[in-house]
Amino acid sequence: MVCKKDFLGRDIISINDFSREELEYLFGQTNKIKQNPSKFFHSLDGKIIVPLFFENSTRTDLSFQMAITKLGGRFLDFDINTSSINKGETLRDTIKTIEKYEPDAFVLRHRQDGSAQFVADLTKVPVINAGDGKNEHPTQTILDLYTIRELMGKIDGLNIAIAGDLKYGRTTHSLVSALSNYNNCNIHLFSPDFLKFPKEKILEHQDSIQISEHGLSELEEVIRECDVLYMTRIQRERFPEGFDGEQEYKKIVKSYHLVPEMLKNVYPHFKIMHPLPRVEEIDVRVDKSPCSYYFEEAGNGMWTRMAELYLILGGKNE
**Which residues here bind ligand NCD, judged by CB under 6 A?**
59-60, 131, 137, 140, 170-171, 232-233, 275-277
Q: Which is nearer to ligand NCD, 29 or 60 (CB)?
A: 60
Distance (Å) of CA 89 to CA 81, 93, 179, 241: 12, 7, 39, 25
Q: Is 59 labeled as catalytic in the residue annotation?
A: yes
CB of 129 to ligand NCD, least distance (A): 11
CB of 103 to ligand NCD, least distance (A): 22
DSSP class per residue in 230-257: EE----GGGSPTTS-HHHHHHHHHTTS-
Q: Which is nearer to ligand NCD, 182 or 230 (CB)?
A: 230
Residues whose CB falls within 8 Å of the CB of residue 150, separated by 6 or more in sequence, listed in order: 300
Q: Which is nearer to ligand NCD, 155 or 276 (CB)?
A: 276
Q: Is 109 labeled as catalytic in the residue annotation?
A: yes
CA distance 212 to 219: 12
CB of 4 to ligand NCD, least distance (A): 27
Question: Partners of 262 in the beta sheet?
Answer: none
CB of 3 to ligand NCD, least distance (A): 29
Q: Which is nearer to ligand NCD, 60 or 115 (CB)?
A: 60
Q: Is 60 labeled as catalytic in the residue annotation?
A: yes
- Annotated catalytic residue, options 30, 60, 141, 172: 60
- Annotated catalytic residue, options 30, 47, 70, 109: 109
Q: Report the interhelical angle of 138-152 vs 20-35 (nearest 10°).
A: 70
CB of 56 to ligand NCD, least distance (A): 8
Nearest residue to ligand NCD by CB is 275
CA distance 245 to 97: 39
| CB 253, CB 247: distance < 8 Å | no
DSSP class per residue in 187-222: EEEE--GGGPPPHHHHHHHTTTSEEEEE-GGGHHHH
Q: Which is nearer to ligand NCD, 192 or 315 (CB)?
A: 192
- Annotated catalytic residue, options 5, 87, 254, 264: 87
Q: Is 137 labeled as catalytic in the residue annotation?
A: yes
Residue type, 199: K
- Annotated catalytic residue, options 137, 149, 170, 271: 137
Residues annotated as catalytic (active site), given as ranges: 59-60, 87, 109, 137
